[in-house]
Structure 1
C-alpha cells in the first residue's frame, strides 16, 4: 500500500541515520527500514482513530444538550450529521480497524484534553459549519468533508502536530507519507456495500520489499564509489560542503540508474527532485538535477545503465 515515493523516503531516512552513526551494517539497516515502515502505518491508524474521537465529541455534546433539564429548541436541533458520515461509521464498526487499534494500543495514546481543544476549533471551521447545515449528503460530499478535516484542519493544526510528535517520535518524518497514504485508505472504504474488506492489513508486497531493500543495500554497499562519482561532477564545490540529504538522494538515484533495471531514468530523476523539494533546500532541486544529468550521461556512455522491459530499453 505504501507508494514507491513513500518507500524512497523511508529508505532515505534510514540511510541518513546510518550515515550519522557511521554505520555500514546492511542487516541492521534493513531491520530499521522495516520498523520505520511499520511506524508510518501506526501513525496512519492513529490519525483515523483521532478522527473518530472528534465525531464522538459531536455525539457527546448532542447528548448533553438533549439531556438538559430544560433543553432549548437549539439544543434539540444540535446537528450530529458528522457522526453519520459513512467513513466515520465504517471506522467505528469495522472489526479489523478496531482490532488493530487494540493490538497497537493506540487508544492509550489519546489525550482527551487535546481532543476537546481541537473539537472546539473544528466547530468554528467554515467548511464544517456548511456541512452540518444540511442533513443529507452525497457520497462525494461525505468524502470531501473527511478529506477537509484531515488535510485542511488536522494536518495544519499546531496542537495536533505537537500531539503527534509527543506520541509518535517519527511523526515529522512520517507526515508526508501518511498524508498520501490516508487518501488511498479513505478511497477504499465502501459507501454502502455490506462487504467488510480488511483495509488495515498494512503490508508491502514482495515486489516493493525487494525494491526498497535493494535500494537501501546497494546504496550502502556502493557508498564510497557513488560519493566519488558525485564529487567528480562538482564545479567549485567540495563533497563535504554538500548537505547530507542531497548526497543521499543523489546516491540513491545512481543506485536506481545502475541496479534497478525496470525503473525509467526520467522517473528516477523526477522522484528525487520532488523529494528534495520536501526535505532539502530550495536550491537543491536545480543542483541535484545538474549533477545527476552529468552522471546519467556518463553511465549511459559506459554502458552501466541497462533498462529492461517494454519501453525501457535505453
Structure 2
C-alpha cells in the first residue's frame, strides 16, 4: 500500500529533523533517526485512515439526515424520500467490514478525530453536487460507480476544502507536515483493487528499505558531498535549500548502493519529491545535479545495477 516515494519522503523528513538536533555519535544518531522514522511512518498511516473515515462518514451521514427529515412534525414528500443509497455504498462497506481496518481504528483511537459537525457540513455540500445527484438517480450499483463517488467525496469535498484543511491542521497532529503523504496514500487506495491489510500497510521489505536508506545517507555523507559539491559551482552552496541537499544525498546513495532500483527511477522519484516538498526550481535543480553525477559515476564504472531485463 505504501510506496517507495512515500518512504523517501519520510526518510527526507527524518534527516531534516536530525539536522536540527545536537550532533552525537553515529550510533546514537542512527538510533534516534530510527525512532523518528518509525514514528513518522506510523503517524502518516494514521492520517491516511482518518482521511478514509472522513470520506466514509460523509456518505453514511445520508441515513442520519433521512431520519431527521422524516421525523419532522410536518414532513414534505421530499423529506420522506431522502436517498440513502450512498450509505450502502458497496466499495465503502467492503472496507468497513475489513477486520484489519476496524482493528487499526481501535488500536490508534482514530475515532476521536472525527468531528460530527464537519461530517454534517460535508454531506450537505455533497447533496447539492451534480455528481451526487447523478449517482442516486441510478438504481443499479457498479464497482466503478461505487468507487468513483467515494473518490469524488475525498478529492472534491475533503481534500479541496480549505476550511476543513485548516481544521485538520489545528486538530490532527502532524497534518501540515504529512498531508501530501496522506494524499498519496489515498491515491494508492483508490487505485488498488485488492483487499488491504490495514495492520500491515508497510511491508517488511519496504520498512527495511526505509531504514537502510537513512543509515546509508548518514554513513556516506562525506563521500556523497564530495560528489555533489563540484556540481554546485554555478550555485551558491549556502543558498541551496537544505531539503535539496538531503534529496541529492539520498539520490546519490540510491544510485550507488541500491542495486535493485534502476537509475532512471531514482532520478525521476527525487525530482518529484523535490517539486512537492521544496522550492519551485528544485525539481530542475535536483535533476541536473543527479544527472551529472550519474554520468561521472558511469564513466568510472561505479554503478552496479541488476539487469531487470533478464528472466529468472
Q: Is the TM-score greater than 0.5? A: yes
2:308 matches 1:304 = no
In 2: Cα distance, 1:59 partner to 1:81 partner: 9
Match of 1:213 in 2: 211
Residues 59 and 83 in structure 1, CA contact (< 8 A), matched pair in contact too: yes
CA distance change for structure 1 residues 136 and 27 in 2, over 3 Å: closer, same or farther?
Answer: same
Deviations 1:155-180 (A, max 9, x none): 11113212322233322332222223
- Of 18-27 and 270-279, the range deviating more from structure 2: 18-27
Deviation at 1:201, TM superposition (A): 1.7
Residues 60 and 86 in structure 2, CA contact (< 8 A), matched pair in contact too: no
Pairs within 5 Å for 1:1-314: 1-23=1-23, 25-186=29-190, 199-311=197-309
CA distance change for structure 1 residues 310 and 96 in 2, over 3 Å: closer, same or farther?
Answer: closer
Deviation at 1:302, TM superposition (A): 2.6
In 2: Cα distance, 1:205 partner to 1:56 partner: 31
In 1: Cα distance, 2:214 partner to 2:85 partner: 47
Deviation at 1:187, TM superposition (A): 5.2
CA distance change for structure 1 residues 63 and 277 in 2, over 3 Å: closer, same or farther?
Answer: same
Residues 26 and 217 in structure 1, CA contact (< 8 A), matched pair in contact too: yes
Q: Which runs of 5+ in 2 are unaligned?
A: none
User: How many residue pairs were aligned?
Assistant: 306
Deviation at 1:145, TM superposition (A): 0.6
In 1: Cα distance, 2:98 partner to 2:204 partner: 27
In 1: Cα distance, 2:302 partner to 2:208 partner: 21
Residues 113 and 172 in structure 2, CA contact (< 8 A), matched pair in contact too: no
In 2: Cα distance, 1:187 partner to 1:243 partner: 33
Deviation at 1:257, TM superposition (A): 1.0
Residues 231 and 238 in structure 1, CA contact (< 8 A), matched pair in contact too: no
CA distance change for structure 1 residues 188 and 268 in 2, over 3 Å: closer, same or farther?
Answer: closer
Residues 114 and 159 in structure 1, CA contact (< 8 A), matched pair in contact too: no
CA distance change for structure 1 residues 286 and 91 in 2, over 3 Å: closer, same or farther?
Answer: closer
In 2: Cα distance, 1:302 partner to 1:22 partner: 37
In 2: Cα distance, 1:203 partner to 1:58 partner: 30
Q: Which runs of 5+ in 1 are unaligned?
A: 191-196
TM-score (norm 1): 0.89
Deviation at 1:6, TM superposition (A): 0.8
CA distance change for structure 1 residues 270 and 186 in 2, over 3 Å: closer, same or farther?
Answer: closer
